[in-house]
Structure 1
Amino acid sequence: MEGGLALVTKTKNTYSFDSFLSQREQLNDFDNPFLVELSKRYCDQDWATFNQEMKAFSAKVSGRWRSISNEMARVENHPRLRHYDAHNHRIDQIVRTSDQEMMEKEIFSEALFSSQISQGEHAIKRYLIHTNGEAGVACPMACTDGLVALLEKFQDTLSPPLQKVLQHSKEGIDGEFALGAQFMSEIQGGSNIPANVLEAIPEKEHYKLYGNKFFCSVPQADYSVVTARVQGTDHVGVFIVPTWLEGDKEKERRNGHEVNRLKWKLGTCELPSSEINYQGAIAYPIGPLEKGTALAVGIVLTRSRIDIGFATAAHMMRAAREASLYARFREVFGRKIDEFPMAKAQIDTLVNAAKRSTATAFKIYQDYHHVEETANVSEQKRFDVRELILLQKVFSSKEAVDSLRTAISIFGGHGAIEDFSSIPRIFRDAMVNELWEGPRNVLLAQVYRDLKQNAYWYPPEDFVASLLNGYDDKTIHSYGTRLKKLMKTNLYDTPNEENIVAARQWEQVLGDIFYLYQQQELKSYPDFAILPQEVYDTFL
């Protein structure tokens, strides 16, 4: 004290995250040596031109679209439902920000489903879009893929209304591209499509739908693929339902249905998910009505499961790149984070998961299209691809949650702050991805049934040998024997002590087999980094 006044000492702390943020904001997702090398393999056009196009596309993804995606994650910007207009007309309008609507229009205007887009370009652009983790656009993108695939399956027999739907979805009409959706879940069934009770009543060239769908994402879509039980039969058919009839979109007058409410979800919060009551909606049947479940699962859900493979891989790659960058920037206890063995081990595991999942997602995508478009593919190959899609959905989505949790921990306390990085938001989205298109237990049981039913012509040992082709005989024999032994237990029976133990082992063995499959695919690439060297060098 001097003269009765306290002396105040001010300490200036100049620490800043600015150098890290500067590098992070400059990252272009295609400035990824590993992804570039992978893209060369899947590029089906002139590489020099393709490389420049992907860099330009990725600049939009990593720049303005990423900024919009981050803003959409804020609670005040989440979609809302407006039931009535000012004149008491029921409209059920999905209210979103103008930025999100603009981004959606720009992304769909890339015409990703056009016949002018090659498979390689389609796949790489889809992957890059998923690095933002913005489900409000990514989900309708996946749903539109399934809608287009279903329409193309029956292209030669489509009615005029469905021919227009295909044109609108693939090539656009007057520069506008349609959004698709798929509404299959009902309150009593969830993933159990054969349990659908929504009723389809025939009326001239179309049907009318009556009943409820309990979980409907993208209610703002132009068209939806809907499963419904055909009146007076045991058949669950597939229908295409326009959200608006001709001239009604501008009037916000929906086609014979109402949106009850929007769901409050753990993740994918930028994506409106709803409950819908059908009150005579006009619906157009597609394909044999008695084959509806097979069409829904075999085409629509399969496409969505492949998309989840891309999404989980892209989420892991985004997290691995940003966590690696932060670990090189941040100094604690006198060392960079990545100079501690425990942290470095976690980062290496993150990077391996991102690369492994990315390599596998592209491989499975390519193999799927090969078996779909080639007449003389063996049944064994078709079976392998079917099961790999299921295994990828189960284990990549599970690993994405684990990887993103690890990435959050690299950021320490800042990892929980949702405007410090996008990783917490993508973590919540990844948890939802585990549930889309069948949760883990449902799909593991499906693999069991598939292997059991086809064992007479394709023994489980041969299945393992096909997936792990390239590994030594001892490894193949070991996993083949374990799989065969577990299949002797009825994993679809009423739970008992024996089959509960076997069920746990079933998941473990299949997870090990899929991991080895992924590692084998990754071995075909040299050891490329996921960040350019000059980015690391910034923080030396």
Structure 2
Amino acid sequence: MIRDPRRLDALLDDIRAFVRTTWHPLEDEVDRTGEIPEAVVERLRRKGYFGWSIPEAHGGLGLSTEELVLCAMELSQASVALRARVGTNTGIGSEALVADGTPWQKERWLPRMASGELTGCLALTEPDAGSEATNIRTTARREGDHYVLDGSKCFITNAPLADVFTVIARTGEGSRGHAGLSAFLVERGPGLRTGAPYRKMGQAGSPVSDVHFEHCRVPASHLIGGEEGAGFKTVMKVLNKQRLHLAALCTGPAIRMLDLAIAHATRREQFGQPVANFQLVQALIADCRTEIFAAHSMILEAARARDRGEDVALSASMCKYFASEMCGRVADRCVQMFGGAGYIADFSPIERYYRDVRLFRLYEGTSQIHQLNIAKLALREHAEGERP
């Protein structure tokens, strides 16, 4: 659903220009320092990039799902740090509030998240609750007008710099599985502590760390939706949309890597001619281009279905699975097209992209978890006599 084509085209042009003229020249610096210059973050705030999917009534752009994925494909044709800096606010950091927040909760936090004043994140994963997200052990005990949270989260993107945390905790004493899970908005303050940023394989400039809750008192009014036990349903709403968003964010880097590889292959000469003239190199280009097109098409179709109000649990999972695996295959082929230069950071950014995109196949559901989910939903459709 594209509401205003001219307005969207202007936004896409702005993103494209920002990525190419401002961000690409900064990528080596961000990789080296692990930090995004504050002046760049401020530009992103002024441009409204933090509020893409937050409703216009709360200061955002209110992008439809189709508009969001198109913008994400442009923004992510850059090192991952750029989209990660704004991505939690346009995705998992705000979506629980957008989907299930009370009017008071939305008014309290969404405008400041849309403006970039606040950075949000989703604190879901725990040491014993990753792929098995229902195994959450962080507890939220009711004490009068407050809840007291105790427990730890891990692998939380943007945790070191986040101001507000969407936290999934267990309010049902003795409950198991998804029953008894509730969602809270927790502001940074006493009782909430984030660890030092991890040392990672890639994605420099996108800090990730543990989050610890130690008798963290949270007003009862911060229970998302005002209802205990609804946390798992809220998370599923968040993830169904975010998997489409993330699939688009996997497709942008693949486009960028192929552009770099084609440019190199047309310049680099061996045996008296450009490497791009050799058929085996052309086969690599063809495979990359075809898979990028397939991912792009899948994501747009699923995004449009979501905008029509259809259930996209299956298609979102397929998009995330295919796009993340596709991006990994494109990265590998592009390094191959660069040859030895693709392994050396001094020669090209392709080795950094290769490291950065490896995480896509792990977070927000590993590829193996998505395979299981896709099969489960396909078998359910078959049992119910439905057809794709």
Structure 1 length-normalised TM: 0.64
Aligned to 2:109: 165
Aligned to 1:128: 74
Aligned to 1:506: none
Q: Between the two proteins, what is the percent identity of the paired residues?
A: 19
Q: 1:289 is matched with which residue: 228, 234, 237?
A: 228
| 8 Å CA contact retained: 1:198, 1:228 | yes
Q: Does 1:221 align with 2:159?
A: no
Q: 1:266 is matched with which residue: 194, 201, 210?
A: 201
Change (3 A) 1:281 1:457: same
Aligned to 2:254: 316
Deviation at 1:50, TM superposition (A): 4.8
SS of residue paired to 1:241: strand
| 8 Å CA contact retained: 2:138, 2:150 | yes
Q: Does 1:350 align with 2:288?
A: yes
After superposition, the CA RMSD in angstroms is: 2.5
Partners of 2:158 and 2:72 lie apart in 1 by 18
Partners of 2:229 and 2:200 lie apart in 1 by 34
Q: Does 1:210 align with 2:150?
A: yes
Q: Does 1:279 align with 2:247?
A: no
Letter in 2 for 1:207: Y
Aligned to 1:192: 132
SS of residue paired to 1:262: coil
Change (3 A) 1:138 1:342: same
| 8 Å CA contact retained: 2:248, 2:323 | no
Partners of 1:230 and 1:416 lie apart in 2 by 49
| 8 Å CA contact retained: 2:140, 2:169 | yes
Change (3 A) 1:66 1:100: same
Deviation at 1:143, TM superposition (A): 5.1
Q: Does 1:65 align with 2:23?
A: yes
Q: Does 1:425 align with 2:352?
A: yes
Deviation at 1:437, TM superposition (A): 0.8
SS of residue paired to 1:178: coil
Letter in 2 for 1:217: T
Partners of 2:171 and 2:308 lie apart in 1 by 34
Partners of 1:411 and 1:275 lie apart in 2 by 37
SS of residue paired to 2:122: strand
Unaligned runs of 5+ in 2: none
The aligned runs of 1:82-161 (5 Å cut-off) are 97-98=37-38, 101-102=41-42, 105-106=45-46, 108-109=48-49, 111-112=51-52, 113-115=54-56, 116-119=61-64, 121-135=67-81, 137-138=83-84, 140-142=86-88, 144-155=90-101, 157-158=102-103, 160-161=104-105
Higher RCO (CA < 8 A, seq sep 6+): 2
Change (3 A) 1:446 1:359: closer
Partners of 2:154 and 2:96 lie apart in 1 by 23
SS of residue paired to 2:169: strand
Deviation at 1:106, TM superposition (A): 4.9
Deviation at 1:337, TM superposition (A): 1.1
Deviation at 1:52, TM superposition (A): 4.7
SS of residue paired to 2:91: helix
| 8 Å CA contact retained: 2:244, 2:316 | yes
Aligned to 1:45: 4
Partners of 1:264 and 1:398 lie apart in 2 by 24
Deviation at 1:198, TM superposition (A): 0.8
Q: Does 1:449 align with 2:376?
A: yes
Aligned to 2:173: 232
Partners of 1:226 and 1:440 lie apart in 2 by 24
Partners of 1:331 and 1:289 lie apart in 2 by 64
Deviation at 1:209, TM superposition (A): 1.0
SS of residue paired to 2:308: helix
Partners of 2:208 and 2:47 lie apart in 1 by 20
Q: Does 1:458 align with 2:385?
A: yes
Partners of 1:363 and 1:431 lie apart in 2 by 25
Deviation at 1:162, TM superposition (A): 4.8
| 8 Å CA contact retained: 1:168, 1:177 | yes
Q: Between Structure 1 and Structure 2, how many residues are aligned?
A: 373
| 8 Å CA contact retained: 1:222, 1:242 | yes
For residues 262-281 of structure 1, give each alpha carbon's deviation from its aligned partner in whole angstroms, at most 9, with x where no partner exists.
Answer: 22222222211111211133
Q: Does 1:183 align with 2:110?
A: no
Q: Does 1:334 align with 2:334?
A: no
| 8 Å CA contact retained: 2:70, 2:248 | no
Partners of 1:290 and 1:52 lie apart in 2 by 42
SS of residue paired to 2:51: coil
Deviation at 1:223, TM superposition (A): 1.4
Partners of 1:100 and 1:207 lie apart in 2 by 37
Aligned to 2:343: 416
